[in-house]
Structure 1
Amino acid sequence: GHPDREERVASGPELAAAARRGLCSIGSHTFSHVRLSQAKRAEMMRELSDSKEALEELLDCEIADLAFPYGDYDASTVERAYSSGYRRLFTLDPRLWHPEKGETLVGRFLVCPEMWRVEFALTCAGAYAWRAASRRVWHRLRPASQRRAAKAPEVVAT
């Protein structure tokens, strides 16, 4: 919960009961919220499997969904997530999802209370879905050194 608010957090058994009743689906977000595309293979596999196993043990149900931390993923991340047993992967790419076409990479759209009604309606209708493609193109056009520099945390000596 938030430090300034008193919130009741659901227990493992309560979450398991809600999932069994179909009130929610529960997925993984990795074990320690690392940027998977920057993790070494062994660390990435550990993050994916440890989180999945811990949730499955706690909730006594299969965990098939994964939301990438920071929305950060690449082709090897997707491949390793599938090989770890995840079947549906959530990104932060604003893209429409077509499950009837067998798509398992699910984009999401940011919606918030401050949105204008027309902006909310356009978002829900998929009017901003083009942004995912433009992001991928921009990412491919930038030199690899710029991509690494943009993702690397800044270190300040004191």
Structure 2
Amino acid sequence: MLKRASNALRRALAPRDGCIILMYHRVGAPGCDPEHLAVTAGKLAEQIAVLKRNRTVVPLSWLKERMAQGLSVAGTAAVTFDDGYADVLHQGRPALARLDCPATVFLATGAIGTGANMWWDLVGRLFLVSPALPPEVTVARQGRRQSIALDAADRGSRMRAYGQVSEMVRPLPSRERDAVVDDLVRQIWGAREDRDEDRLMRPEEVQAWYSKGMFEIGAHTVSHPSLPTLPAAEQRAEIAESSRACTTLTGEPPTGFAYPYGHYDAAVMEAAAAAGIAIAVTAEKRRIGPAEPMLALPRYYVGDWDAAAFARHMSFQA
């Protein structure tokens, strides 16, 4: 597969602009998706077909090696998925395999095998799906309490509450974030309800996904925190422990690392380097330039777009 990719690059008649990395999360049509993270399998296939007509799609490991040698990556693309949702294996991998498209999944390793839903999926279902809501909920964080008024009959009220809570909890350390979400679960549902369709992969599913040089695994921290908000020791632990877990799952070191929410700074990059990470990706939308730092590579968010819309967003030929 790598040989075919290299041959395709050599056959290119003219140089194209820098590499692009695509950022996906889920494949399917979940019942609640306020962050627009999911792409259906059909749309994914359409998008990859357009991508392959315009770019040579390469594994992230190929990109890492090429950039480390200072060689050109013009005209290439890499496909990535954050978090490690099980639907990426069950609905995404078959579509990618049919199109001979390599991809990397970045694992939030703390949730692998637990069946626990990510906090944003829980908060989305709490406020946007629950048939009944109390007139208000209280969010307790960092020693302060804030009340949020709710109107179950008003979709706008539900969306505002979801947005407020998401903005409040996203920057919190994971233990405090999870305590806030658990308290909201108690106020609205009484008991936690994790959905199987929203879970991350199990260890055996990670192994079913993994194929060196084709379907690769990267690290994405243990608990999916906003890394710049953490003390240096916790930054290092989140990155290093996630990397070790990926190695245990596949028998190989992770291909690279993705910063949760795309949040990073110089200290976080240093922590990644100290953990042995050679390539890391953000959520900044642009093509990879000739002198791009390998620990802060940009990526393009991809939505549930048809082929024509995808081509417009990527500035491709349809």
Structure 2 length-normalised TM: 0.34
State the Cα deviation string for residues 86-118 of structure 1 (Å, max 9, x = none): 1111111002125x757523211122224682x
Tell me what 2:313 maps to. Answer: 123
CA distance in 2, matches of 1:58, 1:29: 14
Change (3 A) 1:102 1:111: closer
CA distance in 2, matches of 1:13, 1:4: 19
Q: CA deviation at 1:4?
A: 5.8
Amino acid at match of 2:224: H
SS in 1 for 2:303: coil
Change (3 A) 1:115 1:107: farther
Q: Which has the larger radius of gyration?
A: 2
Change (3 A) 1:17 1:41: same
Q: Does 1:31 align with 2:222?
A: yes
Change (3 A) 1:60 1:32: same
Change (3 A) 1:80 1:6: closer
Tell me what 1:97 maps to. Answer: 288
CA distance in 2, matches of 1:62, 1:80: 17
CA distance in 2, matches of 1:73, 1:8: 26
State the Cα deviation string for residues 6-31 of structure 1 (Å, max 9, x = none): 58975535533543353311111101
Tell me what 1:110 maps to. Answer: 301
* Percentage of pairs with the same residue: 27
Comparing both structures, which one devotes a greater share of its residues to strand?
2
What is the root-mean-square deviation of aligned Cα atoms in Å?
Answer: 3.0
The match for 2:265 among 74, 85, 95 is 74
Q: Is the 8 A contact 2:206 2:249 kept in 1?
A: no
Q: CA deviation at 1:50?
A: 0.7
SS in 2 for 1:20: coil
Q: Does 1:49 align with 2:240?
A: yes
CA distance in 2, matches of 1:120, 1:6: 26
Q: Does 1:83 align with 2:265?
A: no
Tell me what 1:155 maps to. Answer: none
Amino acid at match of 2:251: D
CA distance in 1, matches of 2:247, 2:212: 16
Structure 1 length-normalised TM: 0.64
- The structure with higher relative contact order (CA 8 Å, sep 6+) is 2
Number of aligned residue pairs:
124
Give the gaps of 5 or more residues in structure 2.
1-85, 87-116, 118-193
Q: CA deviation at 1:121?
A: 2.2
Amino acid at match of 1:120: F
Amino acid at match of 2:257: L
Give the gaps of 5 or more residues in structure 1.
127-158
SS in 1 for 2:207: helix
Q: Is the 8 A contact 1:36 1:77 kept in 2?
A: yes
Q: Is the 8 A contact 1:16 1:61 kept in 2?
A: no
Q: CA deviation at 1:33?
A: 0.8
Q: Is the 8 A contact 1:16 1:60 kept in 2?
A: no
